[in-house]
Amino acid sequence: MDKCNIMIVGVGGQGTLLASRVIGNVALKQNYDVKVSEVHGMSQRGGSVVTYVKIGDKVYSPIIEKGEADIIIAFEMLEALRWAEYLKEDGKLLVNEQKINPMPVIIGKEKYPENIMEKLRENYKNVISLDALKIAKECKNIKAVNTVLIGLLAKSMNIDKELWIESLKEIVPQKALDVNLKAFEEGYSRG
Amino acid sequence: MKKLMLGNEAVARGAYEAGVKVATAYPGTPSTEITENIAKYDEVYSEWSPNEKVALEVAIGSSIAGGRAICSMKHVGLNVAADPLFTVSYTGVNAGLVIMVADDPGMHSSQNEQDSRMYAKASKIPMVEPSDSEECKEYVKEAFEISEKFDTPVLFRLSTRISHSQSIVEIGDREDIALREYKKDPDKYVMMPAMARKRHVAVENRMAALAEFSNTTPLNRIEWGNTDVGVITSGIAYQYAREAFGDVSYLKLGMIYPLPDKLIKEFSEKVKVLYVIEELEPFFEDHIKKLGIKVIGKDVLPVMGEYSANLIREKVFGNQSTGKKIEGIGTPVRPPVMCPGCPHRGMFYVLNKLKLTVSGDIGCYTLGALPPTQAMDTCVCMGASIGAAHGMEKSRGKEFGSKTVAILGDSTFVHSGITGLVNVVYNKGNSTVIILDNSITGMTGHQHNPTTGFTIKGEPTRQVDLEKLCHAVGVDRVKVVDPFNLKEFEKTVREEIAADEPSVVISQRPCALLKNVKFEGPHKIINEKCKKCKMCMKIGCPAIVDFGDHIEINDALCVGCGLCSKVCNFDAIEKAGE
């Protein structure tokens, strides 16, 4: 791996920050240069959020531009659609088939787009999707959606699985660790 | 040891390693995590001050008394702290004093896009700016050295993408720095006209010495590459420029005021075309042009918004990277919203129902200005709601005033709302002020404040009693109401706006995200009972979704606050079973 640009997109409150921190930590363990750009503050409150993780021998800008992402991991379908333009031609798009209506849809001003997964598959070469919310519920922790998706991501990157588990152990609070490790395995096995 | 750190976290580490004694701040995105992280070091005294002015004054006191001090705020916070800032420039320091100021180009979480470099020039204080987390840490240490060597406070500029990006930092040890001797020195520290006139001379001499120092400090460095193009830049703009221009020559500025004239001249003479890449104002560009040097800058690049490598490519070279966009499909925007369970939702429902003019303020509740509530008329700065409501009444008369309320959070009220309330009482206003007491400073991510009863370290402390405080400044009518008790809340607001005297309504209910707030779990809509009247949609909860043929509650978002069941006239909403 020379360099890898990963975008984590979703809705504020879905736990995208944890995912970016785990990925960043894994890259650090591999002795790469890494930058992770996060969103805090107002935009975080239920809005569209994007975190950039750039890994390489030397990283300058922390931001990934359109057409530069090797992997986009979307925590929500509409957000996958919104950010897909940032994908490289042969980039991977990992999508959680969860649907969270934005306010313009809730108040009936706009429609939530139909058949998002079909359209993504028609337009991009490498699309993998799963229902991380359902899997998280099966793991008995609705909050483990992010760890399921980290598992899915881990499978699509050429980095030793043990490093991911090590990072999770360092970052996830002790009491939630077992559930999260299970959620990680579930995501990993679906990659 | 190497660690991935946010820029803000690295600043905190730098302060720790520099032997800082006292750290003060008022929370404000994107600066908040600096002091949150300093608070983790027990060797440093840290505090949330009620506002930035007090924070800076506390830091000045520490510096004069001989202990290194750091004070942190967002760009607009420096407006609040500007009074002490301009005069601490004159007094100088005893132990080092570094003032962190985090700009927010693009306004991710701010009400304006001011460029704090202007403050360095206006207050005659040197300013440094890092371009990644490692520099955040190292420059803080260097800033303390500069502060003590030149007897000056030092401004330290951050921006959102530096503060909130993680990059690799090499951790060091804490330097053991003894308190400096404290000597009474009124000529230096008592700024009356006779003393200040002398100190102004010292300031001018200091700035001349710093202008020389700027030419030789390693904070300003030339990175030679292809000399057909030279780029003068700093901070995050340096990183964008590096990607957009590639292997050209760079004058990377770390000390951004005063600027290194000799270095700039030397650099400009060796490159064929010179660009200045800086976000926001043409601060470098104006100065460099005054030196008689030709540069390309704001004639092609914007003075607004955030830069990126792509933006530079587009404006300078006329090309940019693109990806594949799916055509013919609408992508609805997703603006931020108040969280499910948010106490403010009950209040906005009532204010909307009463069709009041709402003089607003800065906090999570500012989101009430957006659809579907759209229940806010103004938002200017911290604490402005009360003054503005009073001004509305004084210009349009009592009738208008009686249909107007000011709303602001508990932390915002203590920050700069108290003086506004005193003014209403003193100048015979009738304003109704609603203080949203949610037991925490919310928008910036849960910081304690003088009304919560806990310090930055979570230690119990004396709590400001808002009721007593309001009584003490002369407000006789003070009511405490739960905003989720909609009937009671509406009744109270009706009574208070009708009263011919100032009044305060304390809307009391903790933030739904606080750990100790427990709800009964997700609710559901019983389709047989639902008349599709859409009353529940009026509260604007992101968990309630209209599917056209039926309305549904999203169980992944719903916390079970029950507000929707209170507005439903048909008992169609109840707690969902397992």
pLDDT tens digits, A133-160: 999 999 988 889 999 999 999 998 988 9
Domain that holds residue A73: 4-189
pLDDT at B372: 87
Distance in angstroms (rounded) separating the CA atoms of residues B573 and B182: 67
Neighboring chain B residues of A61 at a CB cutoff of 8 Å:
236, 239-240, 242-243, 308-309
**Quick one: what percent of chain A has pLDDT higher than 70?**
97
- Using a CB–CB cutoff of 8 Å, tell me whether A36 touches chain B: yes
**How many distinct structural domains can be found in chain A?**
1
Query: What's at B314, amino acid-wise?
Result: E
Contact B109 A67 (CB under 8 A): no
How many CB atoms sit inside 10 A of residue B388's CB? 22
ipTM above 0.85 for this complex: yes
Tell if the CB–CB gap between A41 and B443 is shorter than 8 Å: yes
Is the pLDDT assigned to residue A43 strictly greater than 80?
no
Q: Of A45, A59, A113, which is closest to B330 when you measure between CB atoms?
A: A113
Percent of chain A with pLDDT over 90: 81
> Mutate which of B324, B365, B367, B552 to disrupt the A interface (most A C-beta within 10 Å)?
B324
Contact B239 A61 (CB under 8 A): yes
Q: Which residue out of A23, A63, A140, A171 would a mutagenesis test of the B interface target, given it has the greatest number of B Cβ atoms within 10 Å?
A: A63
Asked if A82 is an interface residue toward chain B (Cβ–Cβ < 8 A), one would say yes
Please report residues of B whose CB lies closer than 8 A to that of A17. none
Q: Which residues of A touch B333 (CB under 8 A)?
A: 48, 102, 104
Task: Return the structure tokens found at B427.
Answer: 């100048």
The per-residue pLDDT for range B67-99, each reduced to its tens digit, is 999 999 999 999 999 999 999 999 999 999 999
Q: From the list A12, A42, A110, which residue is nearest B29 (CB)?
A: A42
Cβ of A45 within 8 Å of Cβ of B329? The answer is no
How many beta-carbon pairs below 8 A join chains A and B?
197
Q: Distance from A140 to chain B by nearest Cα, in Å?
A: 13
Pick A33's closest partner by Cβ from B168, B320, B371.
B168
pLDDT at position A70: 97
For the domain bounded by B2-216, which CATH number is listed?
A: 3.40.50.970
The separation between CA B489 and the C-alpha centre of its own chain, rounded to angstroms, equals 31
Q: 3-state DSSP call for residue A91? A: strand
For B108, the closest chain A residue by CA position comes to A43
Domains B2-216 and B221-317 alike in fold: yes
Q: Which long-range contacts (CB under 8 A, 24 or more apart) does A163-172 make?
A: A163/A26, A163/A29, A163/A30, A164/A22, A164/A26, A166/A29, A167/A22, A167/A25, A167/A26, A167/A29, A168/A22, A170/A25, A171/A18, A171/A21, A171/A22, A171/A25, A172/A18, A172/A147
A25 close to B (CB below 8 A) = yes
CB contact under 8 A, B321 and A124: no
Q: Please write down the HEC assignment for all residues of B403-452.
A: CEEEEEEHHHHHHHHHHHHHHHHHCCCCCEEEEEECCCECCCCCECCCCC
Q: Give yes or no for A186 touching B (CB within 8 A).
A: no
Asked whether the beta carbons of residue B445 and residue A104 sit closer than 8 angstroms, the reply is no
Terminal C-alpha separation, chain A: 19
Tell me if residue B467 falls in helix, strand or coil: helix
Q: Which among B166, B322, B333 has CB closest to A104?
A: B333
Minimum Cα–Cα distance from A27: chain B residue = B4
SS (H, E, C) B500-561: CCCEEEEEECCCCCCCCCCCCCCEEECCCCCCCCCCHHHHCCCCEEECCCCEEECCCCCCCC
Domain ranges of chain B: 2-216, 221-317, 344-508, 523-575
**Nearest CB to A105 within list B166, B320, B332:** B332
Contact across the interface for B326 and A101, Cβ inside 8 Å: no
For the domain with range B344-508, which CATH number is right: 2.60.40.3080, 3.20.10.10, 3.30.300.30, 3.40.50.970? 3.40.50.970
In chain A, residues 48-77 whose CB comes closer than 8 Å to chain B: 48, 59-63, 65-69
Cβ A61–B308 below 8 Å, yes or no?
Answer: yes
A111 in contact with chain B, both atoms CB, cutoff 8 A? yes
Instruction: Kindly give the parts of chain B with pLDDT less than 50.
Output: none
Residue A130 CA: distances (Å) to CA of A151, A181, B6, B244, B263? 12, 18, 31, 37, 56
CATH architecture of B523-575: 2-Layer Sandwich (3.30)
Q: Which residues of B are annotated as a binding site?
A: 530, 533, 536, 541, 558, 561, 564, 568
Q: If you search the block for the tokens 């460095």, which residue do you land on?
A: B221
Residues at the binding site of B for [4Fe-4S] cluster are: 530, 533, 536, 541, 558, 561, 564, 568
For residue A52, give the chain B residue with the closest CA: B165
- Which of B131, B334, B538, B539 should one mutate to test binding to chain A, selecting the residue with the greatest count of A CBs within 10 A? B334
Q: Is the CB of A45 less than 8 angstroms away from the CB of B337?
A: yes
Among A21, A46, A61, the residue with its CB nearest the CB of B243 is: A61
Instruction: Give the amino acid at B483.
Output: P
- Rounded CA-CA distance B310/B451 in Å is 45
Question: Which residues make Cβ contacts (< 8 Å) with residue B409, sequence separation at least 6?
Answer: B361, B363, B364, B365, B435, B436, B437, B438, B441, B442
CATH number of B221-317: 3.40.50.920
Chain A from 144 to 183: CB within 8 A of any B CB: none
Q: Which residues of A touch B168 (CB under 8 A)?
A: 28, 33-34
Nearest to B166 among A36, A84, A104 (CB): A36
Q: Say if CB B133 and CB B171 are below 8 A apart.
A: no
Which pLDDT value is given to residue B578? 58
Q: Residue A40 pLDDT > 90, yes or no? A: no
Which of B109, B161, B334 is opposite residue A42, by nearest beta carbon?
B109
Query: In this complex, which of B165, B364, B557 lies closest to A36 when CB atoms are compared?
Result: B165
